[in-house]
Amino acid sequence: MSAAVATGRALQLRGCHVCGAVSHERQGPCCPRCRAPVSGHLAGSIGRCWALLLAAAVLYLPANLLPIMRTHTLFATRQDTIFSGVAELWRNGAWDLALIVFVASVLVPLVKILSLAFLLVTVQRGSAHHAVARTRLYRLLEFVGHWSMLDVFVVGLLGALVQFDIFAQVTPEPGARYFGAVVVLTMLASRSFDPRLIWQGVAATATTPGDTA
- Applying the rule CB under 8 A, the residues between 171 and 210 that interact with other proteins are 171-172, 174, 176-177, 179-181, 183-184, 187, 191, 195-196, 198-199
Sole binder of other proteins in the list 92, 124, 205, 208 (CB under 8 A): 92
- Applying the rule CB under 8 A, the residues between 118 and 177 that interact with other proteins are 131-132, 135-136, 138-139, 146-147, 149-150, 152-164, 167-168, 171-172, 174, 176-177
For residue 106, the 8-state DSSP code is I
Which window, 50-58, 59-67, 98-106, 112-120, contacts other proteins (CB under 8 A)? Answer: 98-106
**Radius of gyration over every alpha carbon of the chain, rounded to an integer in angstroms:** 22
Nearest to 109 by CA among 190, 191, 186: 186
Question: How many CB atoms lie under 10 A from the CB of residue 105?
Answer: 27
The one-letter amino acid code at 69 reads M
Contact 175, 81 (CB under 8 A): yes
Mask for 2-41, x = binds other proteins (CB under 8 A)? -x-xxxxx-x-xxx-xxxxxxxx--x----xxxxx-----
The one-letter amino acid code at 1 reads M
**Cβ at position 126, least distance to other proteins in Å:** 15
**Cβ at position 43, least distance to other proteins in Å:** 15
Q: In this complex, which beta carbon is closest to other proteins, that of residue 52 or of residue 101?
A: 101
- Applying the rule CB under 8 A, the residues between 52 and 71 that interact with other proteins are none
Edge-first strand listing for the sheet containing 163-164 = 77-80, 69-73, 168-172, 163-164
Sole binder of other proteins in the list 54, 87, 100, 117 (CB under 8 A): 100
Nearest to 70 by CA among 147, 176, 148, 149: 176
